[in-house]
Structures are given as structure tokens and as C-alpha cells.
Amino acid sequence: MEKQNETQLNRHPRGITPLFLTEMWERLSYYGMRALLVLYLVKSLGFSDADAGAVYAFYTSFVYLTPVIGGYLTDRFLSYQFAIYLGSFLMLCGHISLAFSGLPFFYLGLVLLALGNGFFKPNMSTIFGRLYNEKQNLRDSGFTIFYMGINLGGLLGPIICGSLGERVDWHLGFLSAGVGMAVGMIVFYFGSRRLPDSIWEKQSSLPRTSNSSSVDKKTQSKILLIVLLSFFSIFFWMAFEQMGSSLNLFALRNTDRNLFGFNIPASVLQSINPLFILLFGPIVSLFWTALSKRNKNPNPVLKFVLSLVLLGIGFLVMVVAASFAETGVSVSILFLVFVYFWNTLSELCLSPVGLSFVSQMAPAQYASLLMGIWFLSNAFGHYAAGILSGYQNQWGSMKNFYGFFVICSFSGALLLYGIYSIKKKTILGLLEGKKEDKSILAN
């Protein structure tokens, strides 16, 4: 009996498969549409780089702002199931709107996609996390599986939607993203019946303390540390999100995409990053586990520093590629492959680490607020990425433009490491305390 209980404890909960597939199809629709966005604006609608960058900036930043609003409304007024269906339906309508010609349909589609994401994204993650309320030992492993679903969708989306959009018809590419969203809704409808009833129940509000206006020094320090890492994540997203904007245009205009006699659509290259995530994500996870067994696993702050260093290396490669491109030569596709390789390693050191860190470090009474701050930092970084990409021609040369991100990444890493060195004792004390706190659940 004891052995049977142990087996049950180490088995992933029933229901992760439909949530994995739902998330995969939704991400397929998102990344498929994102791969086409800037290219469609520039090639089909004749937007300037600056105007296309501005649209990209507003759209991607709102995608990370709306989950704060959607999560708030769901916590107070909506059921989780209704919020997910509402978000899915709005995104489906958004993709359908993009399938029609005309700027009014285009802008309506972007608004519907951003609003729908606000209801879908936080609640899908919440119910997935609740599957592991009784199996905390498998939580990290479960979210790794979930993360694989996200990147599988990110791999397939640009290939399917990008190929159709660039080679056949832009609006057909957008419509194919809507088909992915529709399949995701169907999967969720039938798959949600296998989920336990307990994950749909709203948790009661946390009890208020007798002196809620006062915050102890340790809590203040935890909040400051979360805000600090959220701030430095802006450096990351500002550079990383060039992938969907300036690097996408570089692939279109300055890259020899002919491979074995086949001319690869520029948008399809957006699949390289999720492919690398799927290939190297498990390896990096095993690497952290191996270091942990030897008590040498870097803490989240040092992983952020490492992430910014790796990001800077990736953009150093981009500086070299830009130097060749400025001579009028179409550069090898391998340059972008290497850039995305370093960017992927950087992402693996920051994105999942940051989300896990915030959800575990945040004091329970401020968990939603601090998670909102983390998403806001994502929004600021995405907005800055889009705006900067639109003005790359104002830097004198592409080499100078990409060199800016090298400087920002390395400077951010140096600054964060300096702060860590000065406050090392305090930070390590907070991180050690985090390991003992098992009461905080990701929301």
C-alpha cells in the first residue's frame, strides 16, 4: 500500500494532456500571427519601419498588460472556465477579423487578440498550477511540460501560418492562425471534463492582518528584490523581442534564405527559437539539477546576470552579420541561427526562472500585485523593443543599432552583479528563506 501511494505521489495529475494541447494550439495561433505581423505591415500595407515597429510595440505590450486586467476581473466576477472560453472566443474573432482586407478589420483584430489573451493567459496557467496543489514535488516538472507545449505551438505556428501568409495570401495566413485557435477551443471543451472539480473553485480571500498598513522589513526586502529583477528583465525583453521585429526584417532583406534550392520564407525563421527551446530546454533543466545536487546551482539573481551576458553574445554575432550586410551582401542564414541559439540560452536562464521566482518569493498578501509587476515589466520591454526596431535606420548603421543591445545587455549584467555583490548577504538570506516557504502558490 505504501509503495502504491508513493507511485501515485510521483505520477503527474490526470488532465495535464488537454491543457498541454490547448496551450499548444493557442500559442500556435499567437506565434503564427506574430511572425507575419511586421512583414505584412511593411510588404503588403506599405508601412514604414517606424510605423510597423510602433504597431508591433503597442500590440505586444498590450498582450502583457491585459492579463493583469483579465486576472483581476476573473478573481472578482468570472469563473475560470468562462474566462478561458471568453478569451478563446475573442482571440478567434480577432484572427477572423485579420483574415479580411482593410485597416479597420486589422486594428479590430489586434484589439480582440490582446483582450482575449488577457482572459486566457493568466487563467490557463492558474488552473494548470492547481492540478499540482497536492503534488508540489512535481510542480516544476509539470510546468516544464507546459512550457514544452508553449514552444511546440511556437515552432509550428510560424511554419504553417508564415508559409501560407508569405507564399499564398497574407489573410489566409492569419485565418490559419484562427483555425489553430478553434482547434484549441474544441480540445479544451472536451478535455476540461477530465479535470477535477476542485481546480475550478475560487480560493477564499486571504485573512487581513490586524495592522495591514505595516509591512515588516523582510517583506519589504522581498518586494524590492522582485521589483529589482522585474526591472532588469526589461533589458532582456527589449533586446529579445527584436526577433519578431528588426530581426524579422533582417531575415527578409539581408539574409540568403536559400537552402538546398528552397527559398525559406522569412517568417518561418521565427520557429528557430522554439525549436531550440524544445531541444535545449530539457538539457538546461538537467544541468541545473546536476548543479543543485552538488550545491552549485546558481541562484535566480546570478541566472539573470548569466542571461544578460548570453544575450549580449547573441547580439555580438548580430553586429558581425550587420557589418557584412552593410556591404550589400546577403548574409548566411547561419548568422540568425547562431543569434537565436544564444538568445534561446538567455531565455532559458531568465523567463521560466523569473516566473518561478516571483510566484514563490512574493509574500502571499501581495502575490497578485507582484505578479502583475512582473507582467508589466514584460510589457515595457516589448514596447521598447517595437519602438526601437522602427528607428533602426536612424542609428547611422545596422551595426550601431545592434551594438546598442550588446552594450545594454552587458551593462545590465554588470550593474545587476554589482548590486548583488553589495547586497549579497541580504539577498542570500531572502533566497534561503524562500526555500522554506511552501505556502505560496503561483496564481
Which sequence spans correspond to the domains of the chain? 13-200, 217-443
How many whole angstroms separate alpha carbon 426 and alpha carbon 419?
11
Is-contact 70 122, C-beta < 8 A?
yes
Cell matching residue 313: 553574445
Is-contact 389 49, C-beta < 8 A?
yes
Nearest partner of 264 among 35, 22, 432, 49, judged by Cα: 35
Q: Do domains 13-200 and 217-443 have the same CATH topology?
A: yes
**CATH 1.20.1250.20 is the classification of domain 217-443:** yes
Q: Which residues contact 253 (CB under 8 A, 6 or more apart)?
A: none
In this prediction the pTM is 0.79
Q: Which residues contact 6 (CB under 8 A, 6 or more apart)?
A: none
**CATH 3.40.50.2300 is the classification of domain 13-200:** no
The whole-number pLDDT of residue 283 equals: 86
- Give bridge partners of residue 255 from the DSSP assignment: 331
Scanning the structure block, which residue is given the C-alpha cell 551594438?
A: 403
Across the range 211-236, mean pLDDT stands at 80
The whole-number pLDDT of residue 285 equals: 79
Decide if pLDDT at 23 tops 80. Answer: yes
Q: Does an H or E element contain 242, and which?
A: none
How many whole angstroms separate alpha carbon 130 and alpha carbon 119?
17
pLDDT-based confidence at 205, cuts 50/70/90?
Answer: very low
pLDDT-based confidence at 333, cuts 50/70/90?
Answer: very high
- Give bridge partners of residue 259 from the DSSP assignment: 262
How many whole angstroms separate alpha carbon 325 and alpha carbon 310?
23
Is-contact 115 90, C-beta < 8 A?
yes
The whole-number pLDDT of residue 139 equals: 63
Alpha helices per DSSP H over 99-169: 103-130, 139-157, 163-167
Nearest partner of 431 among 301, 307, 287, judged by Cα: 301
How many whole angstroms separate alpha carbon 354 and alpha carbon 117?
20
